[in-house]
Amino acid sequence: MSILSKLFGSKKPEREFKVVHDKYCDFTDTDDVSEYKGTVKWHIYDCDIVLDVDEYPSENPTIEKALAVFHMLYENMENWDRKVKECAAAEFMDENGMVEIWGDGKEDNVPPMPKEDFINNLDVFEIHIKENGELTFRIPADGLFTDHELVIETDISGENMTCSLCG
């Protein structure tokens, strides 16, 4: 409740959040039910999972489609994690298998990094799953590309991945 509400006595009714209990985590609506958000362990790190509702607007929105995609991803975490990180490495790798990085922005002439070292420095921190199966993986690139992040987009097949640097 805001200070003005306390002073003037007006009360805005608190919105009740909707929660979907799943076998891997609980998903809570984040913005009046156009998407739900939960947190899981993706390897050893916390990873936010954002699921779009199947149909918006809707009186009774569900997340069944995005949830099914999440289950497929999570149950095949090792393969998807490697595929996403390989895509990121390929975007910045030279013909010798070295990945060109910027470092943290404090030093000049940062040497390239071997592909496996680059991949081992990446950790997925958010996965956004749309109801149509489109996926967005977000990976912080701190220390590799100053304070930027890598964004990998693909669909449920994982065949056509694109990587961009945002920040």
CB under 8 A, 24+ apart: contacts of 142-149: 142/104, 143/103, 143/104, 144/101, 144/102, 144/103, 144/113, 144/118, 145/101, 145/102, 146/102, 146/103, 146/104, 146/105, 147/105
User: Which has more confidence, 19 or 57?
Assistant: 19
Predicted local confidence at residue 27, as pLDDT: 94
pLDDT of the residue at 59? 67
11 within some domain:
no
Asked whether residue 8 is domain-assigned, the answer is no
Q: What is the mean pLDDT of residues 81-101?
A: 94
Mean pLDDT on 117-123: 95
User: Does residue 3 form part of some domain?
Assistant: no
How much of the chain, in percent, has pLDDT values that exceed 70? Answer: 86
More confident residue, 58 or 90: 90
- Cβ(158)–Cβ(82) below 8 Å: no
**Does 4 fall in a domain?**
no
When the pLDDT of each residue in the chain is averaged and rounded to a whole number, the result is: 87
Task: Let me know if 86 is exposed, middle or buried by CB neighbors in 10 A (0-12, 13-18, 19+).
Answer: middle
Domain extent, residue 36, equals 17-166
Residue 84 lies in a domain: yes
- Has residue 10 been placed in a domain? no
Q: Look at residue 12 and tell me whether its pLDDT is greater than 60.
A: no
Indicate whether 39 belongs to any domain: yes
- Interatomic CA distance for residues 87 and 62, integer angstroms: 31
120 lies in some domain: yes
pLDDT tens-digit profile of 26-73?
999 877 668 999 999 999 999 999 999 887 666 666 789 999 999 999
Look up the pTM and report it: 0.86
The pLDDT score that the predictor gives to residue 130 is 92
Q: Determine the pLDDT at residue 103.
A: 81
List the structure tokens of 123: 């950790």
In 30-148, DSSP assigns E strands to 35-42, 45-52, 98-99, 113-114, 126-129, 135-140
Element (H, E) at 65: helix 64-75
State the pLDDT confidence band at 149, using cuts at 50, 70 and 90: very high
164 sits in which H/E element = strand 162-166
Quick check: 116 pLDDT over 90? Answer: yes
Q: How many domains, the chain?
A: 1
**What single DSSP character describes residue 62?**
-
